Amino acid sequence: MRNRTIITGEDYFTSLRGRKLQVYLMGERVAEPLDHVLIRPSVNAMAKTYELAIEEPELATAQSPFTGKRINRFLHIAANAEEVVMQNRMQRRLGQLTGTCFQRCVGMDAINALFSVTYEIDEKNGTPYHARLKEFIREMQEANFVIGGAMTDIKGDRSKSPSAQVDPDLFVHVARRTKEGVYIRGAKAHQTGCINSHWLVVMPTMRLATEESEYAIVGAMPVDAAGITYIIGRQPGDTRLVDGGEIDAGNAKFSGQEALVIFDDVFIPNQYVFMNGETEFAAMLVERFTSFHRRSYVCKAGVGDVLIGAAATVAEYNGVEKAAHIREKLVEMSLLNETIYATGMASSFESHATSSGNYQCDSLLANVCKQQVTRITYELARLAQDLAGGLLVTLPSEADYRSPATGHLLEKYLKGREDIPTENRMRILRLIENLTLGRNAAGYLTESLHGAGSPQAQRIQIQRQMDLEYKQQLAKKLAGIES
């Protein structure tokens, strides 16, 4: 890819243009994703990660030990707890600025997890993964590339392990090994921001058995490597932008992006291979990555800030912002939203050093954070819809508002408070629709449930770490029971 460091959002757009990606959407090959009306908002969201680094460098950049320069924080390996915490601060801010998923966390969490795991593999086996990874990270930092992290396999019949599936490709695996590298096959589902990335890092999705060594593969490749196909998924209300106008889209500028990525014998040269058959480290990688990634859902507190702000605004536009029950609901929304923030932040604050020297967030609290996110965002959505009123789902289209036949009627009858333009009321309602029933509900709600692992995955981790034995000792002692 290009050899100049990407700095501005414009640089980033330029860096994406003209790639030879195999991208499909709504039944058609997409010639230039950057120019596709349904894709562009997700590119805009990613671009914000560059812009924030310029606008608030303390927040969104860090000092790299590898390049000696100030780099984008998304590419930084956190060397102390405060730097892990700063990731969360940056994530909340970007959630506030975009109102959606800005897609760059997966890569950040992946390289931070791989940093310690590769170190520990090498320590045990004498492999060269850690040095390769550091060189890869340095390369990405120099270019300021976006790394997409690809973990979630298709899984097929979920009651069966990778090797027990009828079709071996239902989990990404090594199809062939040569002296120069490996060829991989399979597909990764729900790949966040993959088309907006420059490189992808594939990783195994679960604990593996010893005989499943072909599934224990970690490696990086450019997004336009030969053999990769992308099929972009539909989002609720995705075509609102196509219908014309921008009000109906709610948040016309920003959205998330998720695609199915199919690897048809894609080659990864050795220098970009960071795990190759070490099945016993698959679970460790999954756990460290998901720990980072689950507390990364602090971003949803940022999106929640937008939703709270929208709900407060619509209450004001309706003239009811001072009613006690309205205020109580805004307080409840804030309480819950800050609970997401606090649990994620506590996980980051309680980070500990790994043997490789980087910092890993607290796993129990990370799972607590994510599990709370799976409930809280839905409750916030319900409360926001409560404050919005029924017009949320019965509001006529922008086209009706612009039409000479009906515009004046809507102007007259959709008025709330006298001093508020009807259009503003429409806009704020559409934003709430966007976040709770529309395009960005995909990220704010369903992704909050299933991203970084579905709810039950967090419960299993909590079960592993809740240390009942210790707690039973405490209880027995106070109850006067001798062990």
Known catalytic residues? 101, 105, 192, 258, 293, 297, 299, 447
Residue 279 in contact with a second copy, rule: CB under 8 A: no
Pull the structure tokens for residue 67: 């390049």
Using CB under 8 A, pick the residue from 113, 223, 252, 285 that binds a second copy: 252
> In this chain, which of 46, 275, 345, 361 binds a second copy, going by CB under 8 A?
345
**Interface segment toward a second copy; rule CB under 8 A; list 8-16, 43-51, 195-203, 428-436:** 428-436
Query: Is there a contact between 310 and 386 (Cβ–Cβ < 8 Å)?
Result: no
Q: In whole angstroms, how close is the CB of 14 to a second copy at the nearest point? A: 25
- 375: its two tokens: 């409930």
Bridge partners, 25 (sequence order): 28
Amino acid at 445: L
Instruction: Write out the binding residues for a second copy, residues 143-182 only, by CB under 8 A.
Output: 152, 154, 156-160, 166-167, 169-170
Selected range binding a second copy among 48-56, 71-79, 203-211, 326-334, rule: CB under 8 A: 326-334
Binding test (CB under 8 A) with a second copy, winner from 1, 26, 31, 37: 26
SS3 175: strand
The three-state (H, E, C) secondary structure of 289-332, written as one string? HHHHHHHHHHHHHHHHHHHHHHHHHHHHHHCCCCCHHHHHHHHH
Residue 320, interface with a second copy (CB under 8 A)? yes
Residues constituting the chain? 483
Nearer to a second copy, 288 or 425 (CB): 425
Is residue 371 a contact residue for a second copy (CB under 8 A)?
Answer: yes
Binding status of residue 99 toward a second copy by CB under 8 A: yes
The reply to whether 306 sits near a second copy by the rule CB under 8 A is: yes
Residue among 353, 390, 283 at smallest CA distance from 81: 353
DSSP for 120-150 reads: HHHHHH--SHHHHHHHHHHHHHHHTPPEEEE
Matching residue, tokens 């990731």: 87
Q: Is 80 in the site for a second copy (CB under 8 A)?
A: no
If the CB atoms of residues 143 and 172 are measured against a second copy, the closer one turns out to be 172
C-alpha separations of 152 from 5, 36, 213 in Å? 30, 26, 17
The residue from 161, 229, 271, 354 that contacts a second copy (CB under 8 A) is 229
* Distance in Å from the first CA to the final CA of the chain: 65
When asked if residue 243 is in the footprint of a second copy (CB under 8 A), the reply is yes
- The site that binds a second copy (CB under 8 A) totals a number of residues, namely 155
Which of positions 394-423 make contact with a second copy (CB under 8 A)? 394-400, 402-403, 405-406, 409-410, 412-418
* 25 counts as binding a second copy under rule CB under 8 A: yes
